[in-house]
Structure formats: C-alpha cells, structure tokens
Amino acid sequence: MTASIPNSTAARDKAFALHPFVDPLANVEPFVVTRGKGVRIFDEEGRSYIDAVAGLWCASLGFDNERLARAAYEQMRKLPFYHAFTGKTNQPLVDLSERLVQLAPSPMSKVFLANSGSEANDTVIKLVWYYNNALKRPQKKKIISRMRGYHGITLATASVTGQVINHTSFDVPLARFLHVQTPLFYHNGLPGESEEDYASRCAKELDDLIVAEGPETVAAMFMEPIMGGGGVVVPPRTYYEKIQAVLRRHDVLVVADEVICGFGRTGAYWGCQTMGIEPDILICAKALSAAFLPISAVLIGKTIVDAVAEETHAIGTFGHGFTYSGHPVPAAVALETLKIYDEENIISRAAETGQFLQAELKRRLAGHPLVGDVRGAGLIAGVEIVADKAERRNFAVTDKIGPTLVRLCEANGVILRSCPNDTIALSPPLIISRAEITEIIDKMEAGLDLIHSTLRSGKPATAAA
C-alpha cells in the first residue's frame, strides 16, 4: 500500500526536502515563509517578523521591490536566457561588468559573473592557480584564510572556510589550504596588549607561517573585511595595514571576499573602504542583486588578467565557466539594484541608520549582565553573550544560550541568527528604519532579561523558550 502523502507544506517539507544547516533527525519544525513586505516576512498564519539578518545577510532592499520585479519580467520577455561561452554575450552582462569595474574600490580590469559567492570564490581559487602556472610558478599554490572565516561551501571554498562544522565528515580542508587565527581582540588580545600590538602579533603569525611554508609556495590570502558568519568579527586597528604589508612583501595576492560586506553593509560602498583593504581580486554577491536572483561577480586586477590571457592564448581556450554565468535576467536585476542604490541614496541612508544601530546596541545592551561584547560597523553587528563578563568566558555550547535567544525573539516577531560563541548577528535590510531597529533591540533586551532570570532561578536557559 502506498503511504499517504502529507497535505501541509510543513509536513511535505519534512517528508521530501533536505535542508542546509539542519539536523534531519532533530524533528525541526519547518518555518514556512509565504510572503514579504519591506523588512518583514510573513508565515502561513499571517504572522509578521522583522528579518534582522536580511535572510542570509543578502536582502538589502527588503522583501518586495517593484522595480526589481519589473526588471526581471522585462528581461525575461526580451531574452530569458543565453550563455556566455565561446564569445556569446548579452547587454546586461556587458553593462553590469562595466559598471562593477567603475565601482571597484581599487583598479580592476575584468569581471567574471557566476551564480553564488561559493562559485565566485571557487573561481578565484582556480584563477590564482592558473595565474601562477602562467608565471611558471607551479609551486605557488597555497591559500591562506582565517579560522571562523566563511568563503563558501564547495570542496575548495569549504577548505578556505575556517569553520569546523563545515569540515567535519566532509574530508576538508583539502591540501594547500592554511588558516591563521581569528583576529578577534576581545578574546585573543593578551592582558595589557593594545589593539595595535595585537594586530602586530597577528601579522607576525602570518609572516611566520608564510616563511615556514616557503613564500614560493603561498599564492593568496582570502579575507572578509568584517567576518560575518564567524560571529561579526571586526579586526583590530591597523590589522589590515600590517597584514597587507606582509602579503605584499611575499608576493601573495590579496583577495577580498565582499559577499556580505559589499554594497553599503559596513557604512561605505565596500567593506574594503571601511577597513582599508586594497585587493588584487574582489568577490561580490548577495546584495549585488538585493538577493532577488542568484548572481555573483569576480573583479580581477589587470596584472592577473594579462597573465591569464597569455596562458589561455597558449592553451587555446579558457576552460572555466558555468551554464548561467552572465545569465541576462539576474544581470538585469543586478543593474537595476545598483541604480536603486544610487538614485535612492541607499548607501548613505544605510550609513546613517547604521550609526544609530551601533550606538543603540552599545547604549542599551552592552551593560547587560549577559552581554560581553558589542561590535560591528554600519548595518552589521554582533552581540556576544557570555557567562562571565570579567573573564570574557562563554557559555558551553550545550547551554544553547544563543539559539534560545533566537527562538525567544522569533516568537516575538524578530528573526536573528546565532553565530559561534553565542554571538547574535544582525544585518538587517539597508532600508530599515530607526523605529524598526528600536523594535529589534526591544525584543533582544526582553529575551536577554528572560534568559538571565531563568538562569538565576537555577533552570537551564532553554527553559526560557
């Protein structure tokens, strides 16, 4: 007898869908999202939630925008698809590539379009290796990144990513991938050490690693200007200045992963501008299309482009690409997104709102008994919950403090994200208002108070939810 097919969306989801970042045996009840409006999403019962993380750091213009919907529709009517292989092109591909070169924070020469941050970073790894083969440096292939950094989830990009959960049982990191420490002064600074001294120590660690491995074997370092999924880690003052000096001395490429930070998230157009990074290669995605359609881009400096072109000429073709690289519909939506950023002053408005977010988080939450650190820039912030403020000691993972706060806030109409060390991440849509930010912080404060009182009563934090 054929088993009966479940009727509800949630039941069918549990029956047929395998989700990212979920324990399939934990009986997690699916959260069915039916529509969006502004910074809010709505569930099956019609309840509304402010999404304080913009989906996955990406819905920069919120969850409805007629201009973007119209751009997609009009392009679908005109040319719904064509590929970019063997010299084929389309107007949105060309226009978007040109515009990104114009907007780049440091001089760039060419743009390669892909479909996700993972694909873009995977492309960069291959380009870096290709580039060094072109220069007759076959040993210069090792890639450095940071613990708790996030750069994607393909075999190669998961190897660049520095998070244990993305490595366990997947047989990554692969060979050639190295990691240095998370540049988080709050936990890793020594007693009496200034931020600048800590930055010098990080730079020395990097230099020591490159020398030990052999500079002739180290090709590039990947870096998020502000590390998102690793817990909104803002490196200390002078860090990037000192890190880049080491990389330049050893002829190691600087790769800026702007997938989260690009397009106004940090208070400037690019996270590189906020943090003082001058990249040889830049990757962007997410807010490139305001997350309305999948698209990513790799911006490549002229020195690399020239070497790659010479190698390709010798081989006969550039043997890399994706079916949907430069797909005209996502490219058209991305172009319209960039126009909206300019015409509606989204970046400057977000910078002002971001100052309010950072100030209010510090004013209202930094003194809370459970809050150890509040950090961020612009409209990206992290609130780290600790068991002991004086010792900067985190709760045990099994205490589930961060996830409990996320559940409490969700029950009260705010979507948040718990990152490593019970750091609660915020990255709301760039169009968020001060009133909506205040509502988010109200719910966070109420949740923290409830968890604190629950712990003081001797009950586990999960009892609060």
**Where in the chain is CATH 3.40.640.10?**
67-343
**What pLDDT, on the 0 to 100 scale, is given for residue 4?**
67
8-state DSSP, 109 = -
In this prediction, residue 2 carries a pLDDT of 53
Give the separation between CA 289 and CA 69, rounded to whole angstroms: 11
CATH code that applies to domain 9-64+345-464 = 3.90.1150.10
Contact assessment for residue 234 and residue 226, using Cβ atoms and an 8 Å cutoff = yes
CB 270 within 8 A of CB 234: no
Phi, psi of 178 (to 5 degrees): -125, 155
Tens digits of per-residue pLDDT, 10-26? Answer: 999 999 999 999 988 98
Sequence ranges of the chain with CATH classification 3.90.1150.10: 9-64+345-464
The model's confidence at residue 7, banded by pLDDT at 50, 70 and 90, is: confident
371-390 confidence digits (pLDDT tens): 999 999 999 999 999 999 99
Asked if residue 221 lies in contact with residue 213, where contact means CB atoms within 8 angstroms, the answer is no
Cβ-based neighbours of 240, under 8 Å, separated by 6 or more: 223, 275, 276, 277
- The average confidence (pLDDT) of the chain is 97
Instruction: Find the helix packing angle between 401-411 and 434-456, rounded to 10°.
Output: 130
Q: What is residue 85's three-state secondary structure?
A: helix
Q: Tell me the backbone φ, ψ of residue 414, rounded to 5 degrees.
A: -135, 130
45-104 pLDDT, tens digit per residue, is 999 999 999 999 999 999 999 999 999 999 999 999 999 999 999 999 999 999 999 999
- 209 close to 252: Cβ distance less than 8 angstroms: no
Q: Mean pLDDT across the stretch 436-453?
A: 98
407 confidence band (pLDDT: 50, 70, 90): very high
What's the pLDDT score for residue 1? Answer: 44
**Which letter, b or e, does each residue of 106-138 get, where b requires 16 or more Cβ atoms within 10 Å of its Cβ?**
bebebbbbbbbbbbbbbbbbebbbbbbbbeeee
AA letter at 111: V
Q: Which residues sit opposite 180 in a β-bridge? A: 146
C-alpha to C-alpha distance for 371 and 96, rounded to whole angstroms: 43
Rounded CA separation 394/387 (Å): 5
Q: Which CATH number fits domain 67-343: 3.30.470.20, 2.120.10.30, 3.40.640.10, 2.60.40.10?
A: 3.40.640.10
Residue 465 pLDDT more than 90? no
Q: Name the percent of the chain lying above pLDDT 90.
A: 97
Distance, CA of 305 to CA of 432 (rounded, Å):
39
The CA distances from residue 437 to 39, 166, 298, 342, in Å, are: 11, 31, 33, 23
Unique residue bearing structure tokens 């000096």 = 245
State percent of the chain over pLDDT 70: 99
Higher-confidence residue of 184 and 7: namely 184
* Continuous segment of H or E residues that includes residue 296: strand 296-300
Contact criterion met (CB below 8 Å) for 425 and 231 = yes
Alpha carbon 39 to chain centroid, angstroms: 19
3-state SS assignment for residue 298:
strand
Report, as an integer, the average pLDDT of 169-178: 96
Q: What is 233-272 written as a DSSP string? A: B-PPTTHHHHHHHHHHHTT-EEEEE-TTTTTTTTSSSSHH
Residue with tokens 């690409």: 321
Give pLDDT, residue 3: 59
Task: Answer positive or negative: Cα dihedral of 234, 237, 242, 248.
Answer: positive
Q: Measured at the alpha carbon of residue 172, what is the angle toward residues 200 and 293, in degrees to the nearest 5?
A: 90
Contact assessment for residue 372 and residue 386, using Cβ atoms and an 8 Å cutoff: yes
Asked whether the bond before 105 is cis by omega within 30 degrees of 0, the reply is: no
Q: What is the tens place of the pLDDT at every residue in 322-359?
A: 999 999 999 999 999 999 999 999 999 999 999 999 99
Predicted confidence (pLDDT) per residue in 24-47, tens digit: 898 889 999 999 999 999 999 999
pTM listed for this prediction: 0.96
